[in-house]
Structures are given as C-alpha cells and as structure tokens.
C-alpha cells in the first residue's frame, strides 16, 4: 500500500487526457465512495508514467494506437481500447500476460496512489 491507498482499478484515457482511479482501501479501511478523476497536470503525469505499459503493448502489437487502458487489479485483467483503424477494437488481456503488464505499471500505480490519496484527503477537508 502506497501513501495509504490500495487501488482496485483505474482507467487511463489517452484520447481524453484524463485518468479515473478507484481505491479498494484507504488507510487500511474498505473504500465505498466514488472514484477519483485526475485532470490537467496530474493526468498528464500519470499518462506519461504509463509509458512502460505502452511499450509492452507496442512490442506485441506494433503500430497500435491506444485510446484507453483499463486495469482491474482484483480480476487481474487489462482491457485496451484501440483507435478506429479501420474499426475500433478491444484487447482483453488476462492470466500471465496481464500479470506481466500490471507489473510494468508499478511506478504508475505508486503515482496514482499518491494522487488519489491527496484528492481524497482534500475531498474530506
């Protein structure tokens, strides 16, 4: 757990330049509130920190244009939405490849945990 937040899932929206993260737990307690949207500088930092994920995907699917990446840590599943060319596609990654990809996201997840924790503390006043 980093900065008091354990992530349940998150979605990196490259086309919209935003990130949505949902904590599983905050300071050791189950989390039941709405997720946290990162916009502006926070979103840009998170999307930049996702470079290892993009490299992992590019190595397996050269030339892809990623629209969004959703990572569900509970199900250990990754969904990747690709830009329409010639039509939109969704890649579903599970099992060992998903674990490998999620491992690549460790620096990103540390950054998200810090940003989400700060946003939740600000939300609570």
Is residue 93 a contact partner of residue 77, using CB atoms and an 8 Å limit? yes
pLDDT tens digit sequence for 48-57: 999 999 999 9
User: Given the DSSP bridges, would you call strands 29-30 and 5-13 parallel, antiparallel or unpaired?
Assistant: unpaired
Does this model's pTM top 0.75?
Answer: yes
d(CA 64, CA 53): 13
Residue range(s) defining the domain that contains residue 88: 5-124
The total of structural domains in the chain comes to 1
Is residue 66 a contact partner of residue 58, using CB atoms and an 8 Å limit? no
Helix (H, G, I), strand (E, B) or coil at 77: strand
pLDDT (0 to 100) of residue 18? 98
Q: Confidence class of residue 93 from pLDDT cuts 50, 70 and 90?
A: very high
């Amino acid at each position: 757990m980093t900065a008091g937040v354990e992530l349940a899932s998150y979605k990196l929206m490259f086309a919209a330049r935003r990130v949505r993260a949902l904590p599983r737990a905050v300071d050791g307690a189950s989390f039941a509130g709405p997720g946290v949207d990162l916009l502006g500088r926070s979103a840009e930092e998170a999307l930049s920190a996702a470079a290892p994920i993009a490299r992992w995907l590019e190595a397996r699917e050269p030339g892809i244009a990623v629209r969004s990446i959703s990572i569900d840590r509970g199900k250990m599943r990754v969904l990747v939405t690709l830009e329409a060319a010639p039509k939109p596609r969704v890649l579903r990654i599970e099992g060992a490849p998903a674990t490998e990809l999620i491992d690549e996201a460790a620096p990103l997840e540390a950054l998200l945990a810090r940003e989400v924790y700060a946003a939740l503390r600000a939300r609570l006043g």
